[in-house]
Chain A
């Protein structure tokens, strides 16, 4: 097993993916550096989410490779990629509605002995001990995102913003070191946005790598260390947030100038 904590840089090499003749991702080579927040911006249909889906294994690229440091990961299953420490937050939250907030988070913890039905009966003691530790960890992260008083609520009963926070706690409990966040602030109560951004900053300070799809340019300017601009499946330009947002092509795409 590769030491997960060292695996924090993601690199794609000339990946392409087409859907029925439309090139959703076209020859994209990007590097997402560790301990940085990298923004992925671009108009709708630019291929940003497709790129995420390729990185975390839901889609196989037609061409090209994806590397986690030196490990090639594009042929792995999504669950294997997740086990390597790449976590994914979906655009539409995807909380497990009929499970409690606590269950949503407990689930995320990796390599649980009690997930093996035979060990469940034969290593009962170990499972119990492990569960207590996982619970402690889960509650720690739920406190971190401010949901500790909701642990027994069904996730479907949370507000949209709280659901986003829940999915963040889920990723953190999973111990993911690389977080792929698809619009973490979209649809969230504006009062909650600074809280989320603050959380993300803290996480990077703690050593995580964050890749962020974002449409809110204020957020991009405020939080991203580096930005890639994508349009029609291609990486059009990249650089520091201010530079990219000043680029003529970006202005055209976003403001129609």
Chain B
């Protein structure tokens, strides 16, 4: 039972990541591959504040969001000067830089040794320590974040983003400050992705940089490619499929060492199949061309 609840917690975490990347890609049309960097920044800021300074989990959340937002500005300003493929490459570079910092700043992050003993969230004497309790917390946070994204998606703000995705020149000619909207989107998307990081860190109680690699960015990217972008249900179905599908492998009695590789092959195949046959994903309205 706990195993199933564990998968649901992972779904909640990845839904936050998928929804935030969807704002960037599905609405604004900005192809970023740096999402694991925001995820990692969130995880590390929360962890360091909790472990080193004993700050309460819930108080670390605003700090994690703020930290990721600052990172977003740092990435956005030079990257947004670039167009298309070059923008993409620039976010790739930042993803790798963030990973390298987490990996090599040993005095702060302990690098590859990781940080163990991350406390569980506590509020008003209530501790979210076992899996069912943590699931409740994850669902509550995920719901709040989902609600924020839902409001953003279907708002005049989201409408401008869609217009930028469809035709930047038209958005400009209609009086929208395109650069400002792109930077704002980057900040919101990055900031809220950090929440997933905080949630993850205090759930698994141990983090190291390998959880926030380029592979992780690609995984989040795959979720919304397969589920579809530009709406709410796309990232939702994408998350469910991508989190549950590999778990099915466990029931096929494939040895663990093989299963890890099979999982990667399945992700790759799914991506290729969707790009070929259904580039808008399962529920998406926006085709990747």
When the two chains form the complex, which single residue of A58, A96, A98, A107 contacts B230, counting CB atoms closer than 8 Å? Answer: A98
User: A115-140: which have CB < 8 Å to B?
Assistant: 115-117, 120-121, 127, 131
Is residue A97 within 8 Å, beta carbon to beta carbon, of the partner chain? Answer: yes
Asked, given contacts A79-B172, A82-B173, whether A107 binds B163 with beta carbons under 8 Å apart, the answer is yes
Asked, given contacts A112-B156, A114-B157, whether A58 binds B169 with beta carbons under 8 Å apart, the answer is yes
Q: Interface of chain A, helix or strand or loop or mixed? A: helix
Question: Nearest CB to that of A97 among chain B residues?
Answer: B166
Question: Nearest CB to that of B230 among chain A residues?
Answer: A98
Which chain B residues border A97 with CB–CB below 8 Å?
166
In the complex, per-residue mask of A199-213: 1 if CB is within 8 Å of any chain B CB, else 0: 000000000000000
Is residue A68 within 8 Å, beta carbon to beta carbon, of the partner chain? Answer: no
| A side interface size, CB within 8 A | 33
Contact indicator B162/A117 (Cβ below 8 Å): no
A243 CB, nearest partner CB in chain B, Å? 33
User: B44-90: which have CB < 8 Å to A?
Assistant: none
User: B143-164: which have CB < 8 Å to A?
Assistant: 148, 151-152, 155-157, 159-160, 162-163
Contact indicator A78/B172 (Cβ below 8 Å): yes
Is residue B176 within 8 Å, beta carbon to beta carbon, of the partner chain? Answer: yes
Contact indicator B157/A94 (Cβ below 8 Å): no
Is residue A153 within 8 Å, beta carbon to beta carbon, of the partner chain? Answer: no
Contact indicator A116/B230 (Cβ below 8 Å): no
Question: Nearest CB to that of B280 among chain A residues?
Answer: A98
Is residue A234 within 8 Å, beta carbon to beta carbon, of the partner chain? Answer: no
Question: Nearest CB to that of A96 among chain B residues?
Answer: B166
Contact indicator B172/A115 (Cβ below 8 Å): no
Contact indicator A107/B151 (Cβ below 8 Å): no
Is residue B285 within 8 Å, beta carbon to beta carbon, of the partner chain? Answer: yes
CA distance A63 to B166 in the complex (A): 33
CA distance A117 to B189 in the complex (A): 12
Contact indicator A99/B163 (Cβ below 8 Å): yes
Is residue B104 within 8 Å, beta carbon to beta carbon, of the partner chain? Answer: no
Is residue A25 within 8 Å, beta carbon to beta carbon, of the partner chain? Answer: no
Question: Nearest CB to that of A156 among chain B residues?
Answer: B166
Is residue B177 within 8 Å, beta carbon to beta carbon, of the partner chain? Answer: yes
CA distance A13 to B175 in the complex (A): 24
Which chain B residues border A79 with CB–CB below 8 Å?
171-178
Contact indicator A78/B173 (Cβ below 8 Å): yes
CA distance A97 to B162 in the complex (A): 10
Is residue B167 within 8 Å, beta carbon to beta carbon, of the partner chain? Answer: yes
Is residue A164 within 8 Å, beta carbon to beta carbon, of the partner chain? Answer: no
Question: Nearest CB to that of B175 among chain A residues?
Answer: A82
Q: Which 7 A-B pairs have the closest CB atoms?
A: A114-B156, A82-B175, A96-B166, A83-B175, A78-B172, A112-B156, A88-B173
Mind listing 6 A-B residue pairs with CB under 8 Å? A82-B175, A99-B166, A107-B156, A108-B174, A114-B157, A115-B176
Q: B-side interface residues toward A, CB under 8 Å?
A: 148, 151-152, 155-157, 159-160, 162-163, 165-167, 169-178, 184, 188, 230, 285-286
